[in-house]
Amino acid sequence: MISSVWDSIILGIIQGLTEFLPVSSSGHLEIAKYILEDDSVGEFSLLMTVVLHFATALSTMVVFRKDIMDIIKMILAKEGSSRPFVFKIIISMIPAAIVGVFFEDFIDSLFTQNLLLVACMLILTGLLLFVADRAKNTIREVSYLDAVIVGIAQAIAILPGISRSGATISTSVVLGIDRTRAARFSFLMVVPLIFGKMAKDLMDGDLTSAAVPHLDLIAGFIAAFMTGLIACTAMIAIVKKAQLKYFAFYCFAVAVVIFIFKVL
């Protein structure tokens, strides 16, 4: 059971870094829970996960505050050049929302510290990053069709071990989208989904009755928020310089370690 402040801080740092770096936050949290011997199920584990994701969503909003303010102004004014971008964000959310609503129980069954599944998905993430790093002619804006395809990539990345940012950014770059725009679109498209998931959990009553060590949650939140700010900013520069292959090596290395540990 995650009960110490230090364990919460460790999980917060892992979430903050791996939400934005293309190495799979869900996969690393599964690994961390296995190492920390977190055998908890139910309300507390769910609440900790929601709090950490909320922290990284806020860090995204801070980094892209200008973009978000422009979008809000456009919505209030009901006009502006940002309107197509908002529609594309909405379109990109649909595949993941459908998977989350209709396959929630199946998805939850995958998050049981199944490290072999995580290892296989990390290899897939690494291959995606390699392909994206070699992509040329990345100069386009995001089109509506691109939004659908990237949205499907985000839905697939719900699997533990597939990096959401890695899958969406790699898919965008392979489609020929400008690398900076790809990172911007990838990070902004997940914010509404996180808040939507939080709202659903609150309405379902999944978070209201948990006996929660508040200090643990606060510590995890701060750690995830601060590291998220650093990782989000760094990732934009990394994508722009086409340095994703280094994260591919990391994903392969972690997968090999898991296979050796679990099989031998």
186-239 per-position pLDDT tens digit: 888 888 888 877 777 677 665 554 555 788 889 989 999 999 999 988 888 888
Residue 25 has pLDDT above 90, yes or no: no
What's the alpha-carbon Rg for the chain, to the nearest Å?
A: 18
Of 26, 14, 46, whose CA–CA distance to 121 is shortest?
26
Residue 151: pLDDT band with limits 50, 70, 90: very high
Q: What is the pLDDT of residues 162-194, one digit of tens each?
A: 988 889 999 999 999 988 888 888 888 888 888
Question: Per the structure block, which two tokens stand in for 93?
Answer: 């959310």
What was the pLDDT predicted at 76?
65
Q: What is the pLDDT of residues 28-59, one digit of tens each?
A: 878 877 776 655 444 446 677 778 888 988 99
Of 24, 255, 35, 37, whose CA–CA distance to 160 is shortest?
24
Residue 109 has pLDDT above 50, yes or no: yes
SS3 177: strand
What was the pLDDT predicted at 43?
44
d(CA 123, CA 253): 9
Residue 6: pLDDT band with limits 50, 70, 90: confident
Domain spans of the chain, in order of start: 5-263
d(CA 126, CA 175): 18
Contact yes or no for 130/173 (Cβ under 8 A): no
Contact yes or no for 226/17 (Cβ under 8 A): no
Question: Per the structure block, which two tokens stand in for 148?
Answer: 């659908």
